[in-house]
Structure 1
Amino acid sequence: MKSRMFAPRHAALALLLWLLSACQVEGGIPDVPTEASALPALSQATAEASSAALAARSQTWTLGLTEQPDTLTPYQLTATDQRRAAPVSELLFPSPVLTHNYAYTTTGVLQSLPTLDNGGAEMRLADVFLDPSGQITTTTTQVITQVDQLVVTFRWNPELAWSDGRPLTAADSVFAYEYERANPPSAESAVKLAQVSTYTAIDDHTTQAVLQLDYIGPTYFLNYWTPLPRHLLEQASAEQWQEYLRAPIGYGPYMIEQREPGAIRMVQNPHYFGTPPANVRLDVLFGQDLNLLRANLSNGNLDLIYSDRPQTETIDTLDRDAQEGLLKVGHALWPGWEHIDYNLDVPMLQDIRLRRAIAYGTNRLAMTEQLMGAHVSPLDSWVLPFQPEAAPADQLSRYEYNPDQARALLDEMGYADLDGDGIRASPDGLTLTLQLLTTADSPLRAEVARRFSADMRAIGIAIETTEASSTDLFAPEGPLYQRQFELALYSWKAEPNANGLSLWNCNAVPSLENNFQGENFAGWCFRDADMAIRRGATTLDLNERKAQYLRQQQIWTQELPGLPLFQRLSTVALAPGVIGPEADTFAPITWNVAAWRRE
């Protein structure tokens, strides 16, 4: 009976997977349009065909995504991996604290968001020793004083259970903390771990984080660890861990029934604590060709398509589909922002005139419009416009495209085209050539590098681009942490609040002295800016925070240790009759799957 019941669904899924894979070009589909490319218009699928396709999966949500994750837990190596896995991992591990609509909210996994106002967090006095200079020390001295220390209590929903039926307890969250502490998967997790002094279970459904004495910031309530099933993993071998990471048991509305190349099949979790989704099953299909996914959305094979890397022409075409009533389309800026870091250990880049010439000579507006479309604007600062710490543009140093100004700065420095080849050289004959390092796995970034190189050549600077895999680029022994580059093009992931201590704090410059910790790859250390970001990141007073970040950004945009480019765009398109999914800057597209419906 089981094989007969599911055979139509599996057959339809297999056919759709074959179609998606058959249209792939070896090496992947570029996510940057060429000038000659054009997308065909969708035609209205016949009512009979659409109805038949929908009837075959009446109890199944079918999603088409352009990026396939490797592992599916919330613990990922990079912010990009985290973003890629989130649509699936949110179905297995609903976020205890969800970032949605530029704010933080609970999902029912925690009983409430712990804050100082509601008593979930409290400031306690702690005894500390002071050294002769008045600084806190771990060494026992004769001088003792008291300082504030944040303590945050997380109360987990007692109805939580793993999809194998075992109750979820606070010990599972502590187990995840201990696992991550032993194996920090990313720089972001290392920063979070460094903020916490202890993380313990108070009872079966309560954990408590005691933060470090010097940590006071607005996102103290994020110092929890999403649970992992201790009963399955505590004695697991390395091989069993890898199997779990690819097909984990979670506590969310769905659980994995089967994982295969290009698809993940899921079924409702019978032990889910919340409102069950409308459909018993959910299939996730992966295909790089967004236009093919778009066609399958129109003909009834898919309910939703989602991409963090839509092409400009695809965005425009989907917008036209929406205007014509063929599909429902939404866009959201996502928190990843592209930028170029200057390595300030490179002698020529220590001259601020060269850094400013590069900024004036880069046509960021044209680059953004041609690659991201009308939904995105160039950035003026490393603090993004949606963050409360964002400074008014008229209070910052701005670098609108002005190649004549760029050339004037280079002239002032003595760089001239001595042989008429279009590339400038110093008075002693050294060619003005810079190496640009970027990732090898992003066609979009390759196109940014190409356009940047063309802009630089127009003002007399030669750019030589080198690519490395993301794994190699961000490895502890890689060129970013070792600071073995001249220019680096990559993206950072922002949060609703700016923070930035790991990016621009003087102590965050990776070096042998700090075991290559921190992400201040530019090596920028400016005393007044450092003081401002320290004060801004460690105050709970929003007005004080804004004032300090304004000061830091004013110095940052004057000194220009990096060149901000643009945020990327995420796009969601829904089949007619599907309601509920919505694009959001932070929240995964599946976060509210229980609210999805078909009209």
Structure 2
Amino acid sequence: MKQNKSWLLLMLMVLAVGLFLAACSSDGEEAVEPEEGGVEGETEEAVAVGDPVAGGTVTYGYTAPFQGLLERGFYEGEDDDLILNFMMDPLVATGDDLLPVPEMAEYEIDEEAKTITFSIKDGIEWHDGEPLTAEDMAFAYEVIAHPDYTGPRYANVEMIEGAAEKHDGTAETISGLEVVSDQILKVKLTELQPNTMSNLWVYPMPKHYYEGIPVAELAESDAVRKAPIGTGPFKVANIVPGELVELERFEDYWQGTPYLEGVNYQVVDASLATGLLENGEIDIMAIPASQYEEIKELENVQLFEEASLGYSYIGFKLGHWDAENEVNVMDNPKFQDKQLRQAMAYALDRQGMLDAFSSGLGELIEAPMPPVSWAKADDAELTQYTYDPEKAKALLDEAGYVDVDGDGFREDPNGDPFTINFDAMSGSEIAEPRAQYIIQNWQDVGLNVSLNGGSLKEFNLFYDMVESDDPSVEVFMGAWGLASDPDPTGLWKSDDFWNFPRWVNEESDALIEEGLSAEAFDQEYRKEVYVEWQKLVNEELPNIFLNAPVDVYAANERLQNVHTNSFTSQVDPHLWWVTDAAEAE
């Protein structure tokens, strides 16, 4: 799975977990990702001015080049995801409550037979005018399970009966797929879990359009890179690779012709965001947190604040990944003492960090479950690691970390020098001062902490070192983005590669598995299990959990009917319209 690290941006959608690795960068502006509105549990929506009218074009800004993998089965990062949100709809979407809702298809689950039957709605067409059929969804599964498939979505189809045989080349087709009619597809699963609908791949591929292209060549084909098609409200009119995608409305869109004439997806310089929004050159974008104070004062924009599905953290390297046996081994003695880890948490002024470096856009968390999740434990059930240097010092004393030689830094319980390497990523103006702030917090309680190698790491180098368990990596700062389902599988089990702390805990594994048990089809029971799991992680503290950021989207006041939620900034863009539209409907 060695690829350019941009795949980290959305990749845990790739794992069976339903997590998506939306922002493994701890840099930038504290990973401003899709979160929830100003009041927890609500979303924000622009108040429309007058009646919708047709016409006009808007520009959606993004602050990094896009790859141009404009096929859901192959895309890797948020850069392409935002384009695809305008182009392609799923059979099943994610609602404001982060639960699955029918979109292009109704679905029926037969728990006893372990089947899901999709019934595609009438009148849905691809951008080239061909009808969407059940064959298109079956084709997507066949492509993703193919031995030559080069994308990252296999984990989202491997639960289909026969997918494994297709994947390893022992079968020509997936046995668990039955195309009942043009609009009905029956999918038989090897197992049915409470989060199956959140994990199962639900984006069809245009079979008629891709047929004849070898699966191994599909990702680089013109059909994906230069002239992609979808079923969404806007279709691609022009692509300037890495810079611009011009989209025009799809007149025959199944939910009704979009109001806007078109959308331009434009790559822009993040440092210029305030000016671009003020001048009306950009109509909507996720803003850098460092410019929040400036942008919120602009008279011509409105802001949408969404609680993120991600969180930032500081991890302890507790062991290494055993690649041969595909398990984590917790064999690094340095941070095995829980009191040391807890003391380092109390020593951090997390709220000060959030205020100073992210304009306060976020919420402190005590466990790896963002506040927007329905499975989050109540604060009263978790230890609150509030900034308390004196408590940190007392815990360190109790654990035997004391300053023996009087140099101001603590030795380990054996009286030997105790130093800690800290790793974080470069890439923004806040990266260096934030890292130094963290280091100073720890030094203030007598811990001899310094930047590993004396400097921050570039993104790819940082994750290469963290993933490979480089011996010099001891404590590191990162961030995860998650999908809508709270299943921790993928990041936290003892056989999960993405478990970067290499934490191994039998009770944790058992609770994670219980969260996917037959009893867990009862959501209240499932929440109870995940609350117990959060309490365990909160006590053992393999990571110090920092905050769940708030994403802020800015939209020009001319743009109406904008609806955002914790999953996306582009809910129903076919209903967007502009007050200065050139034509009356």
Distance 2:289 2:198 in 1: 37
- Contact kept in structure 2, 1:102 and 1:586, CA below 8 Å: no
TM value normalised by structure 2: 0.76
Partner of 1:557: 538
Query: What are the superposed Cα offsets for residues 100-157 of structure 1, whole Å, 9 maximum, x if unpaired?
Result: 32333547422x2x3xxxxx00122xxxxxxxxxxxxxxxxxxxxxxxx531112223
1:480 aligns with one of 443, 458, 467: 467
Query: What are the superposed Cα offsets for residues 136-185 of structure 1, whole Å, 9 maximum, x if unpaired?
Result: xxxxxxxxxxxxx5311122234332222333322222232233234474
- Contact kept in structure 1, 2:312 and 2:545, CA below 8 Å: yes
- AA aligned to 2:219 is W
Partner of 1:131: none
- Contact kept in structure 1, 2:28 and 2:431, CA below 8 Å: no
- Contact kept in structure 1, 2:274 and 2:294, CA below 8 Å: no
Q: Call closer, same or farther: CA 1:497–1:107 in 2, change over 3 Å.
A: closer
Partner of 1:499: 487
Q: Call closer, same or farther: CA 1:179–1:487 in 2, change over 3 Å.
A: farther
- AA aligned to 1:582 is H
Distance 2:387 2:280 in 1: 46
- Contact kept in structure 1, 2:239 and 2:245, CA below 8 Å: yes
Aligned positions of 1:385-464 closer than 5 A:
385-418=371-404, 421-426=407-412, 430-440=416-426, 448-459=434-445, 460-464=447-451
Q: Call closer, same or farther: CA 1:229–1:374 in 2, change over 3 Å.
A: same
- Contact kept in structure 2, 1:570 and 1:583, CA below 8 Å: no
Partner of 2:157: 193
Partner of 1:373: 359
Q: Call closer, same or farther: CA 1:89–1:557 in 2, change over 3 Å.
A: same
Partner of 2:549: 568
2:58 aligns with one of 56, 61, 64: 61
Deviation at 1:534, TM superposition (A): 1.6
Where 2:118 maps in the other structure, the secondary structure is: strand
Aligned positions of 1:268-287 closer than 5 A:
268-287=249-268
Deviation at 1:482, TM superposition (A): 5.6
Where 2:364 maps in the other structure, the secondary structure is: coil
Deviation at 1:556, TM superposition (A): 1.2
Aligned positions of 1:182-221 closer than 5 A:
182=147, 183=149, 185-186=151-152, 189-198=153-162, 199-202=176-179, 203-213=181-191, 215-220=192-197
Deviation at 1:438, TM superposition (A): 4.2
Deviation at 1:216, TM superposition (A): 1.9
Partner of 1:94: 89
1:326 aligns with one of 300, 312, 330: 300
Partner of 1:251: 231
Deviation at 1:206, TM superposition (A): 2.5
1:228 aligns with one of 197, 205, 208: 205
Where 1:284 maps in the other structure, the secondary structure is: strand
Q: Call closer, same or farther: CA 1:546–1:59 in 2, change over 3 Å.
A: closer
Distance 2:75 2:404 in 1: 47
Q: Call closer, same or farther: CA 1:542–1:339 in 2, change over 3 Å.
A: same
Partner of 2:501: 522
Query: What are the superposed Cα offsets for residues 448-491 of structure 1, whole Å, 9 maximum, x if unpaired?
Result: 4333222222222313347666556667xx64266864333222
Where 1:196 maps in the other structure, the secondary structure is: coil
Where 1:506 maps in the other structure, the secondary structure is: coil
- Contact kept in structure 1, 2:501 and 2:542, CA below 8 Å: yes
Deviation at 1:396, TM superposition (A): 1.2
- AA aligned to 2:60 is L
Distance 1:438 1:209 in 2: 44
- Contact kept in structure 2, 1:571 and 1:583, CA below 8 Å: no
Distance 1:481 1:293 in 2: 36
Q: Call closer, same or farther: CA 1:528–1:107 in 2, change over 3 Å.
A: closer
- Cα RMSD of the aligned pairs, angstroms, is 3.0
**What is the aligned length?**
491
Q: Unaligned regions of 5+ residues in structure 1, if any?
A: 1-29, 34-56, 115-119, 125-148, 511-518
Which 10-residue stretch deviates more, 219-228 or 349-358? Answer: 219-228
Distance 1:347 1:234 in 2: 55
- Contact kept in structure 2, 1:177 and 1:225, CA below 8 Å: no
Partner of 1:53: none
- AA aligned to 1:333 is A
2:288 pairs with 1:310: yes
Partner of 1:178: 142
- AA aligned to 1:169 is T
Distance 1:594 1:152 in 2: 29
Where 2:161 maps in the other structure, the secondary structure is: strand
Where 1:178 maps in the other structure, the secondary structure is: helix
Partner of 1:384: 370
Q: Call closer, same or farther: CA 1:241–1:318 in 2, change over 3 Å.
A: same
- AA aligned to 1:362 is L
Partner of 1:594: 574
Partner of 1:363: 349
Partner of 1:138: none
Partner of 2:20: none
Q: Call closer, same or farther: CA 1:241–1:395 in 2, change over 3 Å.
A: closer
Partner of 2:278: 298
Q: Call closer, same or farther: CA 1:330–1:259 in 2, change over 3 Å.
A: same
Which 10-residue stretch deviates more, 452-461 or 556-565? Answer: 452-461
Q: Unaligned regions of 5+ residues in structure 2, if any?
A: 1-26, 31-53, 163-175, 320-331, 580-585
Partner of 1:6: none
Distance 2:225 2:349 in 1: 42
2:130 aligns with one of 149, 166, 175: 166
Query: What are the superposed Cα offsets for residues 399-428 of structure 1, whole Å, 9 maximum, x if unpaired?
Result: 111112222222233333455554333365
Where 1:410 maps in the other structure, the secondary structure is: helix
Deviation at 1:299, TM superposition (A): 3.4
Where 1:436 maps in the other structure, the secondary structure is: strand
Deviation at 1:540, TM superposition (A): 0.8
- AA aligned to 1:338 is S
TM value normalised by structure 1: 0.74
Deviation at 1:585, TM superposition (A): 1.1
Query: What are the superposed Cα offsets for residues 198-233 of structure 1, whole Å, 9 maximum, x if unpaired?
Result: 4524233223332233x4214436423311223333
